């Protein structure tokens, strides 16, 4: 276009450092208000949004005409002077001096996502564009902060990151929800459902360890809490008991929430999140046994019987009146994985713990103490009708320097849904994969 840019290129989030200066910002048109004599293009550049001001009387005619006819999501570079403006979003505005349009989206084929309401299927089909919207942008910025907070917490607490394999020969959480992959020459491998078995090996090598990557569950459930591909962080500690696991989980969750409150206030505001609810997330978390939880649920009218796992509704009932996460421990051994340590005082319950987020967001953490005795683990494997050969390496961890150990897993998407206050996990990841959704 005719006007060339002048002044150093800055990002909108850094505008405060350039008040009074003439700078250029490269971005896309988010919205445009206009009258005969003045235009207000709202520019987004990925780091933020800024209202810019173009005054007809102060601009070459061609420049004003260009600004006036900008279309949504056209790419452009605006040059002008930055001015502090209390009432403006972000606190700054630009007085436009010139504009360079890189690509003008034509009226004949306009940007498909308009300020009007769209159905969820349409938005999901256009997920590659929907990410540009204010709300989705805010959610994924919060997600980034959650990921940073998670990693910083473990890095700063002496844990070594040791990522576990995605291709696994055996199942950890049951064989019905495995995705099968054709490896070479008719070999079959499975996509990991959890890194935990491998974490136990690395905990014996590094003392404290964590893995953090995508995990996969071929669950045919179409609920607001399920994705087929989701990210999970899993710490594991040698020489640790269920009490150590609980304390770690509590400190960890509080640290992640505090970080988001500290760094992503603006994004939470965009999401209209009641931050008072998040500020309540401080230790100690209420603790109860599975026995007590079942009693409470039955009193509140749930049909649950001792021995069953909680349903989504049960989790909602237990947490809706809470202002912070709750920890439930000692679940029936029969409904837990084969490697879960039974309570020595009462072997029908296992030393496992779930953390349920408040406000009905349900389970975000599951973990506990693992069996470290070889004979006990072998007998549990048989009770679960699992083959011995694929687990032989796992048994080695009980043959050579066994110690009490434990850890947990936290699903990132559920955690982000809770922190952002979202109804459905599908908005917490850039390109969600669900039962009927593998595109774009």
Cβ 195 to its own copies shortest distance, Å = 10
Cβ 126 to its own copies shortest distance, Å = 8
The CA distances from residue 67 to 32, 140, 307, in Å, are 9, 30, 67
Show the CA angle centred on residue 164, arms to residues 163 and 167, nearest 5°.
Answer: 135
Would you say 82 or 162 has its CB closer to its own copies? 162
Q: Which is nearest to 365 in space by CA: 245, 261, 258?
A: 245
Would you say 217 or 246 has its CB closer to its own copies? 217
DSSP state letters, 382-433: HHTT--SGGGHHHHHHHHSS---EEEEEEEHHHHHHHHHT-S-GGGGSSS--
Would you say 144 or 225 has its CB closer to its own copies? 144
Q: Which is nearest to 380 in space by CA: 333, 334, 336, 339?
A: 339
Would you say 47 or 289 has its CB closer to its own copies? 47
Cβ 368 to its own copies shortest distance, Å = 19
Three-class DSSP category at 103: strand
Cβ 288 to its own copies shortest distance, Å = 29
Q: Give per-residue burial for 365-396: e unless 16+ CB within 10 Å, then b.
A: bbbbbbbbeeeebeebbeeeeeeeeebeebee
Cβ 318 to its own copies shortest distance, Å = 31
Would you say 160 or 308 has its CB closer to its own copies? 160
8 A C-beta contact, residue 362 and residue 411: no
* Biggest CA-to-CA distance, the chain: 87
Would you say 140 or 293 has its CB closer to its own copies? 140
To the nearest 10°, the Cα dihedral for 79, 81, 86, 89?
10
8 A C-beta contact, residue 232 and residue 410: yes
Would you say 145 or 314 has its CB closer to its own copies? 145
Cβ 182 to its own copies shortest distance, Å = 5
Tokens (6 digits) for 44:
């987004």
Cβ 152 to its own copies shortest distance, Å = 9
Cβ 302 to its own copies shortest distance, Å = 31
Would you say 111 or 332 has its CB closer to its own copies? 111
8 A C-beta contact, residue 401 and residue 389: no
Would you say 201 or 335 has its CB closer to its own copies? 201
Cβ 328 to its own copies shortest distance, Å = 28
Q: Which is nearest to 76 in space by CA: 107, 38, 105?
A: 105
Cβ 247 to its own copies shortest distance, Å = 14
Tokens (6 digits) for 164:
């576990």
- Report the alpha-carbon distance of residue 252 to residue 150 in Å, rounded: 8
**Beta-strand relationship, 92-103 and 49-55:** parallel
Would you say 189 or 417 has its CB closer to its own copies? 189
């Amino acid at each position: 276009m005719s006007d060339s840019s002048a002044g150093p290129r800055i990002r909108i989030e850094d505008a405060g450092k350039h008040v009074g200066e003439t700078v250029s910002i490269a971005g896309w048109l988010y919205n445009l208000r206009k009258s005969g004599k003045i235009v207000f293009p709202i520019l987004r550049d990925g780091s933020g949004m800024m209202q810019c001001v173009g005054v007809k009387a102060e601009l070459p005619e061609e420049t004003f005409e260009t600004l006036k006819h900008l279309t949504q999501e056209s790419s452009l570079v605006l040059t002008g002077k930055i001015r502090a403006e209390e009432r403006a979003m972000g606190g700054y505005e630009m007085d436009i001096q010139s504009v360079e349009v890189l690509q003008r989206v034509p009226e004949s084929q306009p940007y498909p996502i308009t300020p009007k309401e769209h159905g969820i299927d349409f938005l999901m089909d256009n997920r590659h564009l929907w990410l540009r919207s204010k709300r989705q942008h805010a959610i994924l910025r919060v997600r980034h902060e959650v990921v940073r907070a998670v990693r910083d917490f473990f890095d700063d607490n002496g844990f070594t990151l040791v990522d576990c394999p995605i291709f696994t020969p055996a199942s950890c959480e049951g064989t019905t929800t495995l995705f099968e992959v054709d490896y070479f020459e008719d070999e079959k491998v499975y996509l990991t459902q959890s890194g935990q078995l491998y974490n136990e090996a690395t905990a014996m090598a590094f003392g404290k360890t964590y893995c953090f990557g995508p995990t996969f569950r071929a669950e045919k459930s179409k609920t607001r809490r399920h994705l087929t591909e989701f990210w999970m962080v899993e710490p594991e500690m040698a020489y640790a008991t269920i009490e150590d696991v609980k304390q770690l989980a509590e400190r960890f969750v509080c640290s992640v929430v505090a970080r988001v409150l500290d760094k992503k206030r603006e994004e939470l505001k965009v999401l209209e999140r009641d931050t008072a609810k998040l500020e309540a997330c401080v230790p100690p978390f209420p603790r109860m046994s599975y026995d007590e939880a079942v009693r409470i649920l039955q009193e509140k009218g749930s049909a649950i019987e001792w021995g069953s796992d909680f349903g989504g509704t049960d989790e909602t009932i237990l947490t809706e009146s809470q202002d912070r996460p709750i920890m439930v421990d000692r679940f029936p051994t029969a409904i837990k994985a084969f490697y879960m340590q039974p309570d020595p005082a009462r072997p029908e319950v296992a030393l496992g713990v779930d953390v349920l987020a408040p406000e009905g967001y349900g389970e975000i953490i599951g973990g506990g103490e693992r069996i470290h005795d070889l004979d006990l683990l072998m007998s549990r494997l048989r009770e679960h009708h699992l083959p011995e050969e694929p687990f032989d390496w796992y048994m080695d961890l009980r043959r050579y320097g066994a110690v009490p150990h434990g850890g947990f897993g936290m699903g990132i998407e559920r955690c982000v849904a809770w922190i952002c206050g979202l109804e459905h996990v599908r908005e917490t990841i850039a390109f969600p994969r669900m039962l009927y959704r593998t595109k774009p």
